[in-house]
Structure 1
Amino acid sequence: TQKPIKGKIKKRIKGGMVVDILGVDAFLPGSQIALRPIPDFDALIGEEYEFRVIKLNKIRRNIVVSRRALLEAEREKQRQELLKTIEEGQVREGIVKNITDFGVFVDLGGLDGLLHITDMSWTRINHPSELVKIGDKIKVKILKYDREKQRISLGLKQLTPSPWDDVDKRFPKGAKVKGKVVNLTKYGAFVRLAEGVEGLIHVSEMSWTKRISHPAEMLEVGQEIFCVVLDVDKENHKISLGLKQLEPDPWQVAAKKYKPGTRVTGVVRNLTAFGAFVEIAEGIEGLIHISDISWTKRVNHPSEFFRRGQKIEAVVLEIDPENHKLSLGYKQLQPNPWPALGRKYFVGAETEGRIIHMTDRGVVVELPDKVEGFVPVTQLGKRVDRPQDAFGVGDILPLKVIEFEPRDHRIVLSVDAYFKSREKADLERYLAAHPIKTVKVRDVAKVTHRKKEESE
């Protein structure tokens, strides 16, 4: 039964085929016809093959034959021969056995190898079925062979020269190149520059002035565009491209145009707790820091001076084109008044001020030159826990300067120091004008609770 016998397939029956073996009918089960499932049994009728008898019952005249047994034996012979001769770098012919999302399994003759999707083409493909189909005869290159695990990695694209070999010469850094948008992701656009060569335009390299959330705002798949080569990584097959580099960097232009000290006109675009953002040209925004809004007033929020959409003047303080930063000043539109104020509000100078703001630490007063000064709670001329206990906004206080710090733009004043050189009667009249206010128990409880929260 081990010796091959020639036979001719006569007809199809349930479960298989009838084979004529020397004038005697034999049964060929469907599972024994070939190594792989046969899609069309009828196509085999009339064909002659060699078979092996796998079952014989002379009494019932029952003969069962197999073609697959011979094919498996031949396959094993080929496999052993292949294992002896296969080497990395060889080019061999195989048959596509199976196709998956990640690649193709190729029968090399007794041994299967994996042709990964990334090794099928230098050009991006979405599925292996775009290039091959089951049953195709293809030539492949042996990329890696693990003798212990008998695993073979195959390559198809490696049969042709890599388009990346001279990519640095074809697409040098700084060159203006033409390409086709082939894919869009949230972080950028892939552009095909040549067959098998793609580059990435990162979303940050699409516009100098606009904030791009997604590349689809600027580009679409299939669009042909010009771009600039920013960097070439030949070894890792990566090319960085830029779209905005087709135009001059407006920040570099601005750096030449707006030197420190230049007066500019702009529109207030945004207000934050630390300053106001002002657009002085398309895409060029500068920050007026809260400390550069006024020479003499303590600014709690930029909204005290500006509103969104307002057109204002400012002075360029500093511009950093590399980091796209621009510092503007508003108070610098006027000369610094502090040198002159120092000649008027020197330590020991007497003046008066109107209370414009009160805190537990003291009161802020407006002096005659619209400059602000601070009177600590311990310098108000009488003992109080809080200024609100005896004073109110709008009250006029007689004052003497006890500190003047032009660098910090700070004037500290004292009522106590003012009355030291005055008659006792003058102080008594002042104290009478600011009696301790009657405080309800409920209000005291609120203040105590607030102080407790602040300390926590």
Structure 2
Amino acid sequence: MTTEISKEYTPSRDEFAALLTESLAKDDVFEGSVVKGKVVGIEKDLAVIDVGLKMEGRVPLKEFGVGGKPGDLKVGDTVEVYLERIENALGEAVLSRDKARREESWTRLEKLSEKGEKVTGVIFNKVKGGFTVDLDGAVAFLPGSQVDIRPVRDIGPLMHQPQQFQILKMDRRRGNIVVSRRSVLEETRAEQRADIVARLAEGQIIDGLVKNITDYGAFIDLGGIDGLLHVTDMAWRRVNHPSEILNVGDTVKVQIIRINPETQRISLGMKQLQSDPWSTIEAKYPIGSRFTGTVTNIADYGAFVELEPGVEGLIHVSEMSWTKKNVHPGKIVSTSQQVEVQILEVDPGKRRISLGLKQTQDNPWDAFLAQHPKGTEVEGPIRNITEFGLFIGLEGGV
């Protein structure tokens, strides 16, 4: 037997909610989902949206990106909104365009993340440890360390500007997205470096800009990629510090010595653009000839003397004095002192010149023997006593 409900019968609130839920389920309209609706009216700063089954809701116009004004949004337009819940038994719905955009963004971002593709967003706020980025509805976190390749002192120019980011992490359940701008820059720079390196060749001469100076050399900007000019390749002469030759901002002409295709490291040289003074060293410094040079460095085993820029020779401690034995070279010569030396040996292959200081002075032993032939009796003070004998001081330091 079928019981008819009279026209005067009004279902209870619980019954209406149950009937509405059943109807929504049939039409695949669920709370917590994105649904399509039609704009049926605009009331001041609100848009009235009909999401079906005579169920309406109101959404602030600002959520449609029209700044509180109708703008392009008009009655009859179809829009997507997020159905949060049914407010009451009359069918008033709580809708959100922002949440709909967020759901759309999450779905789109997940697909892009799976493919490893970049996304576009805008940095709009600073938070603890980094910044927040709007990815067209979804909010992501940009750690401070992922903003740029180098530390950024002023983030101002980057704020509110559309930029590309790489998604590092997504957790939809927690609503967590982490992005990186640095990885995009590194990838771009790597591509640029590879392109520049492909156009360079070993032996090529190129102009560069001194970008940075360290104790061991200088970094030269070759137009998008840096090369290292080591201190030993700056000049043929001894260079104690690169700042003796270069200043930051200088434009220099360099030669590409080596290119490592794997690491993309480039080694540069300046001295290679000048003639090697060692190429004619034997003819220029014959054995037995004498020259004047400058003491550049003193060690326990001798002193280095610069004969000309790029050419240094060593006075071994045994070649410094005829009479002073076991004496540190620093007690015989000093740095920057001009000294006359004699060429004892030249080895172009090893780039070595052996010099003698005592050879430029009279040998006191020769003078002593000339005045005191063998058998002559001499007198002198006792200088030292050892187990094997006595050392006697004689004339001329002998």
Q: Shorter-normalised TM-score: what interval? A: 0.5 to 0.7
Is the Cα–Cα contact under 8 Å of residues 295 and 335 in structure 2 kept in the other structure? yes
Shift of 1:239: 1.0
Q: Distance in 1 between matches of 2:338 and 2:110?
A: 85
For the pair 1:174 / 2:200, whether they are aligned, the reply is no
* Contact in 2 for aligned 1:9/1:44 (Cα 8 Å): no
Name 1:191's counterpart in structure 2. 220
Matched, 1:315 2:347: no
Whether the 8 Å contact between 2:218 and 2:242 is mirrored in structure 1 is: no
Q: State whether structure 2 residue 235 is matched by structure 1 residue 211.
A: no
Which residue number corresponds to residue 354 of structure 1? 380
Q: 1:213 to 1:135 in 2, by over 3 A?
A: same
Answer yes or no: is the 8 Å Cα contact 1:96–1:104 preserved in 2: no
Q: Which residue of 1 aligns with 2:320?
A: 293
Structure 2 unaligned regions, length at least 5: 1-29, 74-78, 171-176
Q: Which residue of 1 aligns with 2:100?
A: 70
Q: 1:250–1:330: structure 2 CA closer, same or farther, 3 Å change rule?
A: same
- For 1:312 and 1:137, locate their aligned partners in 2 and report how far apart those are by CA, in whole Å: 66
1:94 to 2:123 alignment: no
Structure 2 counterpart of 1:357, one-letter code: R
Q: Which residue of 1 aligns with 2:37?
A: 5
**How far did residue 155 of structure 1 move?**
5.1
Q: d(CA) in 2 for partners of 1:25 and 1:52?
A: 11
Deviation digits for residues 107-155 of structure 1, max 9, x if unmatched?
59989899x999x9xxx987698997656376x999x999xxx999975
Aligned residue for 1:445?
none
SS at match of 1:248: coil
- Give secondary structure in 1 for the equivalent of 2:341: strand
Provide the C-alpha distance between the structure 1 equivalents of 2:108 and 2:346, rounded to a whole number of angstroms: 75
Shift of 1:207: 2.9
Q: What is the CA-CA distance between 1:329 and the residue it aligns to?
A: 1.0
1:184 and 1:216 in contact (8 A); partners too = no
Residue type matched to 2:37 in 1? Answer: I
Matches within 5 A, 1:21-100: 21=49, 26=58, 28=60, 33=63, 43-46=67-70, 48=73, 49-58=79-88, 64-78=94-108, 86-87=114-115, 94-98=119-123
How far the C-alpha of 1:240 sits from its partner, in A, is: 0.7
Give, in angstroms, the shift of residue 273 of structure 1: 5.7
Q: CA deviation at 1:226?
A: 0.9
- Structure 1, unaligned runs of 5 or more: 13-17, 35-40, 373-456
Residue type of the alignment partner of 2:67: A
For residue 230 of structure 1, what is the aligned residue in structure 2? 257
Task: Choose the corresponding residue for 2:162, options 102, 125, 136.
Answer: 136
- Equivalent-residue separation in structure 2 for 1:267 and 1:137 (angstroms): 60
- The 1:158–1:299 alpha-carbon spacing in structure 2 relative to 1, beyond 3 Å, is closer
Q: Which amino acid aligns with 2:254?
A: C
Q: What secondary structure does 2:67 align onto?
A: helix
CA distance in 2 between counterparts of 1:170 and 1:9 reads: 62
- 1: CA distance, partners of 2:390 / 2:151: 72
> What amino acid sits opposite 1:70 in the alignment?
A
Q: Within 5 A, what are the aligned runs for 1:211-290?
A: 211-215=239-243, 218-221=246-249, 223-252=250-279, 254=281, 256-268=283-295, 274-282=301-309, 284-290=311-317
- Give 3-state SS (helix, strand or coil) of 1:236's partner: coil
Residue 284 of structure 1: CA displacement? 4.1
Q: Against the structure 1 CA distance between its residues 155 and 260, is the aligned structure 2 distance closer, same or farther, given a 3 Å change threshold? A: same
Structure 2 residue matching 1:354: 3-state secondary structure: coil
> Retained in 2: the 8 A contact 1:79–1:111?
no
* Closer/same/farther in 2, CA of residues 288 and 60 from structure 1, 3 Å limit: same
Q: Which residue of 1 aligns with 2:391?
A: 364
Structure 1 length-normalised TM:
0.54
Aligned letter for 1:205? D
Partner of 2:230: 202
Question: CA, structure 1 residues 359+270, in 2 after alignment: closer, same or farther (shift >3 Å)?
Answer: farther
Contact 2:236–2:311, Cα closer than 8 Å, also in 1: no
**What CA RMSD, in Å, does the superposition of the two structures yield over aligned residues?**
5.6
Asked if structure 1 preserves the Cα contact closer than 8 Å seen for 2:49 and 2:59, the reply is no
Cα contact 1:107–1:113 (8 A) shared by 2: no
Q: Is the 8 A contact 1:96 1:137 kept in 2?
A: yes
1:328 and 2:338 correspond: no
User: Using a 3 Å threshold, how does the CA distance of structure 1 residues 275 and 354 change in structure 2: closer, same or farther?
Assistant: farther
> What is the alpha-carbon distance in structure 1 between the residues aligned to residue 109 and residue 334 of structure 2?
82
1:280 maps to a residue whose letter is: L
Cα distance in 2 for residues equivalent to 1:271 and 1:365? 31
Give the distance between the partners of 1:201 and 1:237, measured in 2 at CA: 15
Deviation at 1:198, TM superposition (A): 3.0
Following superposition, the deviation at residue 104 of structure 1 comes to 11
8 Å contact from structure 2 (residues 256, 269) kept in 1: yes
- Would you say the 8 A contact 1:292–1:331 is kept in 2? yes
TM-aligned CA distance change 1:24 to 1:79, over 3 Å: closer
